[in-house]
Chain A
Amino acid sequence: MAISRALEVQEKKELAAKEEKTVPARYYVPTTDIFESDDALTVVMEMPGVERKDVDIRLEDNVLRVEGRIDFSKYEGLEPVYTEYNIGPYARAFTLSDRIDQDNISAELEDGVLKLTLKKAKEAGPRRIAIG
């Protein structure tokens, strides 16, 4: 991780949805990092072009669904001459374990990066087992 080399382009992965969407547009999968610390699980998703009002985070039946919409009215009147990436709404879902305190989830959005902090339920903290 300490190697410094030129940053590579990650091609956008299109979402192969298990459920069909009613909107006829292509959805993309946001690149995500998930890491865990002692008291919380943090999910960081990259959704460039998504503003605060266009993020939809839902928790239902232990499934966390995140959707980020693009305001494509900004592209009206613009004529593309060269494109390297496509734009579209983002969607990704994760199944949470019951170790997460589902009433205690916070979210931040900055520079197109959504950071979700899911606090772990109190009883599920790591327990040290002493060898008798």
Chain B
Amino acid sequence: MPMLSYDPFETLLDLQRTLDTFRQSRWLESSPSAGGSYPPINVFRKGDDLLIIAEVPGVNKSNLDIQIQGNAVRIAGSKTIDYPNKASLHRRERLTGAFDRTVALPVEIDPDRVRAECRDGLLALFLARAERDKPKSIKIS
């Protein structure tokens, strides 16, 4: 991450610029990521752990189904909007529908140490790398 300057406003612009740089990231190129499908995800790394943040505004956690298998994360669910019966629409920009997206990560995940939080329209998946997937150093005798 770029160095934090003392100007808090610059920090946000730096973050936005950094996120833009990673739009061309080929991190998931070797495995299927269903890029372009809903929901859009950002993947962050903190040390050896991964954090996937997906934007799912209006989706309640009861409508979300998350599965982990090996190195694949599957996010499925549906987004619905209740329009009142006698309403006349002036503008409609929001979309509704079902979604089912699988992202294959380049590292294997430990499913027992996964934490999922859904708040304010953001789904955050805290993923820990499986112990057996971590590189082990070999001593040269």
Contact = CB atoms under 8 A, between A and B. Distances in A.
Interface string A77-97: 111111111111100000000
Nearest to B85: A37
Contacts of A75: 15, 44
Contact of B1 (A5, A35, A37, A78): A78
Interface residues of B, number: 62
Taking residues whose C-beta sits less than 8 angstroms from the other chain, chain A's interface range is 35 or more
Interface stretch (B20-28, B65-73, B127-135): B20-28
Is chain B's binding surface mostly helix, strand, loop or mixed? mixed
A25 B16 contact: yes
Interface of A: 4-10, 23-26, 31-38, 41-42, 44, 46-51, 70, 72, 75-89, 111-113
27 contacts: A6-B97, A7-B79, A7-B98, A8-B97, A24-B9, A25-B12, A25-B16, A33-B81, A34-B91, A35-B90, A36-B88, A42-B87, A46-B57, A46-B58, A50-B121, A51-B120, A72-B11, A78-B51, A80-B42, A81-B22, A81-B43, A81-B45, A83-B23, A85-B19, A86-B23, A88-B12, A112-B120
Interface of B: 1, 4, 9-13, 15-16, 18-23, 25, 27-28, 33, 35-46, 50-51, 55-60, 79, 81, 83-84, 86-100, 118, 120-122
